[in-house]
Every structure is written in structure tokens, then in C-alpha cells.
A = this chain, B = another copy of it.
């Protein structure tokens, strides 16, 4: 493997570097097949057409406020409400599409979901003893916010069925150190990076446990509308009767990322207390005014226009992409099965019922160095699960994103991965290089 010599030796680096690695790697290897980033499929973007619907949103606004269209356009172009202007439309959309009942006044529109994560973590963890509970591996956008703000993370690794037990143990350990478990972060539907879905029973167990201990659950759900098969599990926000779940959503996957529109839905009665629900939304709003003033009203108007023309729901809009993602997943599964037919005892993968990712498990440790060899010498970009890990444990797993690749590239990329794995297995002691 010539790549061992030409690839510069690199430690796995801090978690803070990984987001940049993800963002920049496609530019570094333009000829490589990328299974690295969970980007939505571009062939469904209609940005030019969507821009043309903005005037319809403005006419709607003018009607609501009983003013002229020109005035409504100018109000849109101006500074505006910190919490957003399409809150009512968002409340309706998540009611229709996700069965979530949240008053518009408890919704904060954010610059993508990332801003909501930043505001929530920094807003809820103000004391140095406050700790964020996360499953490892964990979405980098969350761990990055914690690291940037020096907020302590308490990670735990466990099977998808044993989350509540692992959480209980982690909370006890955190409390034993005199720290305060403040927040539990979860992607219950088609987790990034693992693709896992939490069962209803697990969700209810987690809610009961966190409600009793005043731990806020942050439910991040970017992929929930992309279920291809199997029975849908209600969101934790919808199951919550205690007011302990804050729900985060984004229009980056369902419409397009360039809008940078996401939101946080805060319970009206936090832990049963209406005052506390108001206090949290107000605190987030105050913080937002110093981070971004308000979310672009132009991009909010694009979302608003689409929601108006779609009768409030995104279900019709996501039908095409969802079908494409299902086909891509099936194709990737078929190519994996064919490529690794003779290695089924050593190479494995899961079959996610939705979302953008599947997880490949190799018979050797796969970290940054191996990812660089794949990119350099085999022309295929993938993300080691170690990038998302919070401990130093060895990890043989690789995240494969299939959301924004063509059938040809899926075939080609899996073949490249196959060549890498075979070469690596032929090289004695390969994994000791990691």
C-alpha cells in the first residue's frame, strides 16, 4: 500500500477539527466518491422556483396584517422579531407531520439547527458543574458546541435497548462527582452517525427518568421524515407529559441547507411549570439577540412560502427524496452484500429503516489514518465512527452516507471500499498502524 508512505501521519485530532474535515474534505479530493457527508439529494432542490414563491408569502403577510404588499415586503427586508416570523407555520407543520403540539409562542426560529444547539447548551449549562449527557458516538455539531464552550460532556456507550440503564449509571457517576446532569442530547430517529432508532419503550423510560430528575432532554430530529419502512415511533416531545423535552428541527434536509432555517420547540410547561417554559424561551431569545439578532427573514419567507403552498405539511415535498434515499440504501446494501460475500463473517453492516446513513463494521480498527488512505489511494471518502466517539476506545466502524450519491457512484464507491478492505486484510498487522 503505497499510501502508507505518502499519507502524512496524523493523529485523530481534536473533535473540533472534525467538522472542518467533513466540510473541507470534498474539496481536497474532488475526484473521490464521497460517502462522507450527509447532504440531502440535490436533484430535488428547486431554489429558483422556490424564490419565485416569496411574493406569495409576502401577499399572505400583507393580508394578515392588513397592509399593502410593498409595505409587507419592506417589513420583511427590515430587522424583525428575534424569535422569528414563521413560528405559527412551523407549529402547524410539526403538528401535521410530527404529531407535536407546541404553541407558536414557544417556538424559536434559529439559523439552522446548529444555532439552536449552541443556544440551548450555553443557555442551560451556565454553571461550571453542569454536565451534558450524550451517547457515544455522538453528532459532532453537539460535541463541538460543548467543547467550544468548555461544557463538560458525560458520554456513555450502550446498545440501543439499554440506553435507560446506561443513562442511570452515568447520572449516578456524574452526581457522585458533585456535578449536575443538566441535559440529555439524543437523535432518537435514524441517529447520526449510527442510524439507530430508539423504541417507544426506551423513549418513555428515558422521559420518566429525566422528568423525575429535572434533566432536560434535547431531541434533535433532522431525519425523522425520511422513514422508508417499518412503524413510526412517536417523537419524544409528543410522548412527553412532563414538559422535559425540547424538540429541535431543521429545514436543511426537507427543503435545502442554504436556507439555514431551523427551530427549537420549548414545552409550554417546563417540568409542569408554565413560568419555567416562558423563562426558557425568553432566555434563548435574549441569547439569540447577541448571536445573530434574528434569523434571516428572507430565508424564513422561503420556508413560509413553501409551507403555505403545501397546505402546511412537508409530506408531499419529501416523498421524492425519501424514495430516492430508500433506493440508494437498497443499492448500497446490495453492493455491500455482493462485494463482501466471501467476508460475511468479518465485514458487517446494519439495515436502517430510514435516514441518510448506514454503519459498516470492519475486522480492523478504522480511524483518521485509514480514512486518509481510503481518500488518497482508493478515492473513496468515508467517516470513521471514531470521529464521533467521546472516548479513546478502538472502533472498527465506518459511517456510509448514501443520501447524495448516484447509483453509479454507489457501485463504484463500494467497490473501492472493497479493494481497500482486501488490501488491508492482506497486509499483516495492518490495524497496529492505527
Which A residues form the contact surface with B (CB < 8 A)?
Answer: 16-17, 19-20, 23, 27, 37, 39-40, 42-43, 45, 47-48, 51, 54-55, 58, 73-82, 111-112, 114-115, 118, 122, 141, 144-145, 148, 252, 256-260, 285-287, 289-299, 302
The minimal Cβ–Cβ distance linking A161 to chain B, given in whole angstroms, is 31
Known: A45-B77, A77-B258. 9 other contacts (CB 8 A): A20-B285, A23-B294, A42-B78, A47-B76, A47-B77, A48-B73, A77-B256, A79-B252, A118-B291
- Chain B hits for A258, CB < 8 A: 76-80, 296-298
Q: Check B114–A292 contact: CB distance below 8 A.
A: yes
- Chain B hits for A39, CB < 8 A: 78-79
Q: Contacts A260-B295, A299-B298 given; indicate if A290 touches B80 (C-beta within 8 A).
A: no
Q: Contacts A20-B285, A23-B289 given; indicate if A256 touches B78 (C-beta within 8 A).
A: yes
Most buried by B among A82, A145, A290: A290
- Chain B hits for A285, CB < 8 A: 20
- Chain B hits for A45, CB < 8 A: 73-74, 77-78
30 contacts between A and B (CB under 8 A): A16-B286, A20-B286, A20-B289, A23-B81, A23-B82, A23-B294, A37-B79, A39-B78, A42-B75, A45-B73, A45-B78, A47-B73, A47-B74, A48-B58, A77-B258, A79-B252, A79-B258, A112-B292, A112-B293, A115-B291, A141-B293, A258-B296, A258-B298, A260-B292, A260-B293, A260-B294, A260-B295, A292-B292, A298-B299, A298-B302
Q: Check A145–B74 contact: CB distance below 8 A.
A: no
Say how many copies of this protein the assembly contains: 2
Q: Check A47–B17 contact: CB distance below 8 A.
A: no
Most buried by B among A39, A258, A292: A258
With beta carbons under 8 angstroms apart, the residue of B51, B122, B289 that contacts A19 is B289
Q: Check A292–B111 contact: CB distance below 8 A.
A: yes
- Chain B hits for A40, CB < 8 A: 78
The minimal Cβ–Cβ distance linking A138 to chain B, given in whole angstroms, is 13
* Complex CA distance for A316 and B183, rounded to whole angstroms: 51
A23 to chain B: closest residue by CB: B82
Q: Contacts A287-B148, A299-B299 given; indicate if A82 touches B293 (C-beta within 8 A).
A: no
* Complex CA distance for A54 and B48, rounded to whole angstroms: 8
Q: Contacts A74-B42, A114-B293 given; indicate if A259 touches B144 (C-beta within 8 A).
A: no
* Complex CA distance for A54 and B302, rounded to whole angstroms: 14
* Complex CA distance for A45 and B297, rounded to whole angstroms: 14
* Complex CA distance for A81 and B258, rounded to whole angstroms: 11
With beta carbons under 8 angstroms apart, the residue of B51, B55, B79, B122 that contacts A54 is B51
With beta carbons under 8 angstroms apart, the residue of B58, B77, B256, B290 that contacts A145 is B290
A255 to chain B: closest residue by CB: B77
- Chain B hits for A76, CB < 8 A: 47, 258
- Chain B hits for A256, CB < 8 A: 77-78
A148 to chain B: closest residue by CB: B290
A45 to chain B: closest residue by CB: B77
* Complex CA distance for A259 and B302, rounded to whole angstroms: 13
The minimal Cβ–Cβ distance linking A108 to chain B, given in whole angstroms, is 13
With beta carbons under 8 angstroms apart, the residue of B114, B296, B297 that contacts A291 is B114
* Complex CA distance for A79 and B43, rounded to whole angstroms: 14
* Complex CA distance for A122 and B47, rounded to whole angstroms: 34
A42 to chain B: closest residue by CB: B74
* Complex CA distance for A53 and B258, rounded to whole angstroms: 17
Among all A-B residue pairs, the 9 with the closest Cβ atoms:
A42-B74, A144-B290, A77-B256, A45-B77, A258-B297, A47-B77, A260-B296, A19-B289, A79-B257
